[in-house]
């Protein structure tokens, strides 16, 4: 699931000068996608790398990948040109878009020591979840580009195969998870993710291994759930932890997660974040992807 790129591809991409992107509503404009593809697909071994990336995300047993772009980040820095290259790789998987009109295409996920520790920009444990869990059309992929890891050494990324976790549950628990009895979070000022889904089932009734597993462990503490439904969700949370993989993202690493298969989260940052200057704290950039209609799913 970790994909290195060859030195000749790195050299060719370093020499590219991709233009600024344009949006068509919330989505990366087709003209930008076509321009980026024309440029990057001419680079040696780009097509093979993109194929490997797609297979890691959609093939049997797949569902996430980390594209190692660290050398490009060292050479180019992590500014506009580097982000355009990352966007070009993302566009080989699905269509980049932003559901947040108040944010640009890439959203900063930094560290705020005074924020709720369990939030993505907090300093505590960020439990397993899918992004925009309460939208009728959540993103097919969530992606995170590492600019800086925690300089104190914390903040491991965690991932777990949600469908594998569900398959280990007893039948009565799965039946409860398939009932529209769950809710979490607010829903406002969002584009291109459908309508608010409330209440929603965690399992959507698709066949085994298919569809979204609409889960966030935060619902166990922050939503009013019936006792039986909360117990079933807690069982799922325990199975997700049991099956988790973890790793530290390095500068330039680009994590892409198929939300129809894997849930993600983060271990707590190392203690002492208040001693780290804000400009030196962990920084990720987040981008969402939508699979075009008729192009298949990430399941």
| pLDDT for residue 89 is more than 90 | yes
| pLDDT for residue 123 is more than 60 | yes
pLDDT tens column, 153-208? 999 999 999 999 999 999 999 999 999 999 998 899 999 999 999 999 999 877 77
Sign of CA dihedral 77, 78, 81, 82: positive
| pLDDT for residue 62 is more than 80 | yes
Q: Judge whether 183 lies within some domain.
A: yes
Q: For residue 194, is it left (φ>0), alpha (ψ between -120 and 50) or beta? A: left
Per-position DSSP letters for 262-282, written without gaps between them = EEEEEPPPPS-GGGS-GGGS-
Cis previous bond, 199, omega within 30: yes
Q: Judge whether 295 lies within some domain.
A: no
The whole-number pLDDT of residue 294 equals: 60
The whole-number pLDDT of residue 299 equals: 37
CATH number at residue 134: 3.60.130.10
Q: Judge whether 297 lies within some domain.
A: no
The whole-number pLDDT of residue 7 equals: 97
Are the CB atoms for 279 and 145 separated by under 8 Å?
no
Q: Can you say how many angstroms the Cα of residue 4 is from the centroid of all Cα atoms in its chain?
A: 19
Q: Judge whether 134 lies within some domain.
A: yes
Q: Which residues of 241-279 are buried (b: 16+ CB within 10 A; e: fewer)?
A: eeebeeeebeebbbbbbbbbbbbbbbbbbeeebeebeee
Q: Judge whether 199 lies within some domain.
A: yes
Q: How far, in Å, CA of 4 to CA of 71, rounded?
A: 10
Range of the domain at 261: 2-290
Q: Judge whether 299 lies within some domain.
A: no
Q: Judge whether 296 lies within some domain.
A: no
Q: Judge whether 274 lies within some domain.
A: yes
How many domains is the chain built from?
1
pLDDT tens column, 205-228? 777 778 899 999 999 988 889 999
Q: How far, in Å, CA of 36 to CA of 91, rounded?
A: 9
Name the CA dihedral angle for 210, 212, 217, 218, rounded to a multiple of 10 degrees.
Answer: -170
Mean pLDDT computed over 233-259? 98
């Amino acid at each position: 699931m970790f994909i290195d790129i060859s030195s000749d591809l790195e050299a060719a991409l370093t020499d590219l000068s991709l233009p600024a992107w344009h949006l068509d509503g919330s989505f990366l404009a087709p003209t930008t996608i076509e321009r980026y593809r024309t440029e990057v697909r001419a680079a040696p071994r780009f097509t093979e790398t993109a194929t490997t990336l797609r297979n890691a995300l959609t093939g049997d047993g797949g569902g996430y990948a980390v594209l190692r772009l660290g050398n490009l980040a060292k050479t180019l820095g992590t500014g506009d040109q580097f982000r355009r290259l990352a966007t070009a790789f993302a566009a080989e998987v699905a269509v980049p878009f932003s559901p947040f009109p108040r944010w640009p295409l890439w959203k900063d996920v930094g560290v705020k020591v005074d924020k709720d520790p369990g939030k993505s920009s907090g300093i505590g444990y960020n439990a397993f979840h899918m992004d925009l869990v309460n939208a009728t059309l959540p993103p097919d992929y969530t992606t995170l580009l590492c600019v800086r890891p925690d300089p104190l050494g914390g903040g491991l990324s965690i991932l777990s195969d949600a469908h594998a976790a569900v398959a280990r549950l007893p039948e009565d628990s799965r039946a409860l998870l398939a009932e529209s009895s769950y809710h979490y979070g607010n829903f406002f000022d969002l584009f291109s993710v459908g309508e608010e889904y409330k209440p929603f089932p965690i399992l959507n009734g698709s066949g085994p291994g298919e569809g979204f597993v609409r889960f966030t462990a935060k619902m166990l503490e922050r939503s009013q759930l019936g006792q039986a439904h909360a117990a079933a969700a807690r069982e799922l949370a325990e199975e997700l932890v049991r099956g988790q993989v973890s790793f530290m993202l390095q500068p330039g690493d680009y994590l892409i997660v198929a939300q129809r298969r894997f849930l993600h989260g983060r271990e707590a940052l190392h203690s002492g974040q208040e001693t780290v200057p804000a400009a030196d704290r962990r920084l990720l950039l987040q981008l969402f992807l939508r699979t075009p209609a008729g192009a298949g799913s990430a399941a």
